[in-house]
Amino acid sequence: MYQKRIPWYFLLLLILAGESVFILPFVLARVFRPTVLDAFGLDNLQLGYCFSTYGIVALLSYVFGGPLADKYPPRKLIAVALWMTALGGLVYATFPDYLTLRILYGYWGFTTIFLFWAPMIKATRVWGGSSSQGKAFGFLDGGRGLVGALFGAMGLLIFSIFINSHLSEISIEETKTAFKNVVITSTIIVAFVGLLVWFFMKLDKQIEKEIIIEKITLSEIKEVLKLPSVLLLMVIILCAYVGYKITDVFSLYAQDVMKYNQVEAAKVGTFLLFVRPIVGVAIGFLADRSQTTYWLIIGFIVAIAGSLCFALGIISDSTTLLFFISTFIVAIGVYAARSLYFAVMQKGQIPLVLTGTAVGLISIIGYAPDIFASPMMGYLLENSPGEQGHQHVFWMLIFFFTIGLIAALYYHKLYGRK
């Protein structure tokens, strides 16, 4: 392992890039979900299919993008990914038809994964070294959450500025104009972050030499696949990522069940984005001072407990405090699991130089919810309108998190004390 410490600003640029690249395809839809449905003339199932198209392209991108991250410096791959993603924002701002929108999401599946995902994870692991993996990944996810929250708050401010009518009388034209300004501003910022990464996120040449491998062989891929930690992480990440995808519906829950208007519903989505950095930073420090695998288990348990409040139907428009408490509990569990599932790679004895290849292989299964989670949620919400559909969504979360909990317990048994 290299001895020279990598500066803090390297991680800060990773954090900024790590969330900026997903602002256009995901964060805006999470914060402004009711607005996106209205402005693009979609229902929940159609939006789910857009995310599914993203997931299908991403699946192939994981396969080939992982080894690419082991052959080239992360800085160049990440910067190009940001610029290509920003180009898609220019199309998004024109409110394309449904078919074009699905093609756009497929394009984003390539730009945000093939050149970006594995390099980001590998660069974070490099920054964490041998003793700060929990902190590195906790700060990464928490910091990404803060960036997402700031984007959400900025978007909400811009959206509100361009709404002149009373909130209950917003026309579709006003909605489109306001949201278009949000998209254009986000696009410019994503492109600018790409410039920052290109010029400033540089590694020492000796470190760069140690983490790059000239050629990935089939035997090395087989070696990675034989590791029990890789197979378990596939299951753990898949289940935890279903939970993360389900956080998309909280703003819609606020509108459908709590009877909030569009701006109030968007504030709920923004509230969730501010929870994520707090959880990420806190869980990172706790994990490095004890066991990362132990806190991964705690994350699954907490999310299951909070989801039961929604699944059992005890939250209604008259229980505002319970709604926010339950949302907060689910978010803590989901974001804790998300912050730590790559932080346990080192305990799982996955070689640093093959991190990109391992991440690519793990992500094929781990991020499969990009294909099926949104359509499943859309189907449940459209076929059982109102509160009942949301209850079904949270039962789905409980099912996946229970499987994730079992896998995390086994991972802890194998590697927790090593």
Tell me the per-residue pLDDT of 279-313, one tens digit each, with 9 for 90 and over: 888 888 888 777 888 899 999 999 999 999 999 98
Q: How many CB atoms lie within 10 A of CB 383?
A: 11
In whole angstroms, what is the distance from residue 8 CA to residue 18 CA? 15
Residues 350-404 pLDDT 10s: 777 777 788 888 888 998 887 888 888 888 988 888 888 989 999 999 999 999 9
CATH of region 8-415, choose from 3.30.830.10, 1.10.8.60, 1.20.1250.20, 1.10.760.10: 1.20.1250.20
User: For residue 214, what pLDDT is reported?
Assistant: 58
417 pLDDT higher than 50: yes
Domain layout of the chain by residue ranges: 8-415
- Identify the band that residue 3 occupies on the pLDDT scale cut at 50, 70 and 90: very low
What angle, rounded to 10 degrees, do the helices at 44-69 and 33-40 form?
Answer: 110
In whole angstroms, what is the distance from residue 143 CA to residue 241 CA? 18
User: For residue 399, what pLDDT is reported?
Assistant: 96
Cβ(119)–Cβ(203) under 8 Å?
A: no
329 pLDDT higher than 80: yes
Closest to 59 (Cα-Cα) out of 339, 369, 342, 350:
369
In whole angstroms, what is the distance from residue 205 CA to residue 367 CA? 32
Averaged pLDDT for residues 322-341: 91
Structure tokens at 314: 């005890």
88 pLDDT higher than 70: yes
Q: Does residue 301 or residue 268 have the better pLDDT? A: 301
- Identify the band that residue 166 occupies on the pLDDT scale cut at 50, 70 and 90: low
User: For residue 82, what pLDDT is reported?
Assistant: 96
Which of 3-7, 163-167, 326-330, 366-370 shows the highest mean pLDDT? 326-330
Computed over every residue of the chain, the mean pLDDT equals 85
Share of the chain above pLDDT 70, in %: 93
Q: Does residue 388 or residue 161 have the better pLDDT? A: 388
User: For residue 363, what pLDDT is reported?
Assistant: 86
Which of 25-39, 94-108, 113-127 shows the highest mean pLDDT? 94-108
Q: Does residue 256 or residue 18 have the better pLDDT? A: 18
- Identify the band that residue 164 occupies on the pLDDT scale cut at 50, 70 and 90: low
Buried b (16+ CB within 10 A) or exposed e, 199-219: eebebeeebbeebbbeebeee
Amino acid at 309: C
User: For residue 217, what pLDDT is reported?
Assistant: 66
165 pLDDT higher than 70: no
Please give the angle made by the CA atoms of 173, 390 and 387, to the nearest 5 degrees. 85
- Identify the band that residue 1 occupies on the pLDDT scale cut at 50, 70 and 90: very low
Cα–Cα distances (Å) from 220 to 73, 87, 223, 393, in that order, read: 20, 36, 5, 40
Q: Residue 27 has what DSSP assignment? A: I
Residues 176-186 pLDDT 10s: 888 899 999 99
Residues 131-144 pLDDT 10s: 677 888 888 888 88
